[in-house]
Amino acid sequence: MAGPRPVVLSGPSGAGKSTLLKRLLKEFEGVFGFSVSHTTRKPRPGEADGKDYHFVTVQEMQRGIDSGEFIEHAVFSGNMYGTSKAAVHAVQSGNQICILDIDMQGVKSIKKTDLNPIYISIQPPSVEILEKRLRDRKTESEESLQKRLAVAKRDIEISKEPGLFDEAIINDDLEDAYSKLKAVLKEEINKAQSSKDS
Ligand code: ADP
Ligand code: 5GP
């Protein structure tokens, strides 16, 4: 589909992807749109169905996968996640830049499609800081936290693979990371804004 290039944000759980993308969506309202994924995990306090995720049962998710509704799907830390064609289409039909927040398996799957996004890796300054952020977020059980850290250690290594990501941003100081993200997306933002004005 023609229109602005989508943006994939990927990186370990707790690296700051949601924090950064929520700022983008707020600052550039109408320019970016979030691809609302489906998941079988339970909502966290403050998360809204249809906004943060479409929260579904395993049966509902499996039915959608079987009927070809997903561009990609993966199991992460014991829960299913997936990007539906409808989620991306909803954003692109409004001529907005579609942002996808997906894990490493999702990145590899999307690479096999014709979506042609800009791939941005969001990384923590260290595994120790990642663990602290995840603990302080207070959203995970000890079991979930340990699973996420184990996957993070593996994915931090995989993400160094040359050519996998177009850009890597280390989210140490939040303002700094956000400025870098905006700089990477400047051209796309300008294009989207000028096409809206015309
Ligand atoms: P992700 O979406 O990648 O799992 P979050 O955006 O939920 O990560 O961030 C994980 C936690 O770290 C949140 O509690 C968030 O407020 C916090 N956080 C994000 N970026 C920073 C930063 N640069 N410095 C300190 N804390 C941060
Ligand atoms: P969380 O449970 O913290 O919201 O997300 C866990 C992981 O799942 C994160 O790495 C996030 O990027 C990833 N994720 C969220 N939605 C999708 C999706 O639709 N597809 C894939 N492959 N991963 C997703």
The pTM of this model reads 0.97
pLDDT category of residue 2 using cuts at 50, 70 and 90: low
One-letter identity of residue 159: S
Taking CA atoms only, the protein residue closest to ligand 1 atom 13 is 137
Domain residue limits, the chain? 7-193
CB 82 within 8 A of CB 146: no
Whether 137 is catalytic is yes
Q: Is 17 in the pocket of ligand 1 (CB under 6 A)?
A: yes
Ligand 1: which of 129, 137, 176 to mutate, most ligand atoms within 8 Å of CB? Answer: 137
| Cα–Cα distance measured from residue 88 to residue 90, given in angstroms and rounded to the nearest whole number | 5
Looking at the CA of residue 21, tell me the nearest atom of ligand 1.
6
Mean pLDDT of the region 85-95: 96
Residues whose CB falls within 8 Å of the CB of residue 9, separated by 6 or more in sequence, listed in order: 17, 20, 21, 99, 100, 101, 102, 120, 122
CATH class of 7-193: alpha beta
For 12-56, the pLDDT digits (tens) are 999 999 999 999 999 999 999 999 999 999 999 999 999 999 999
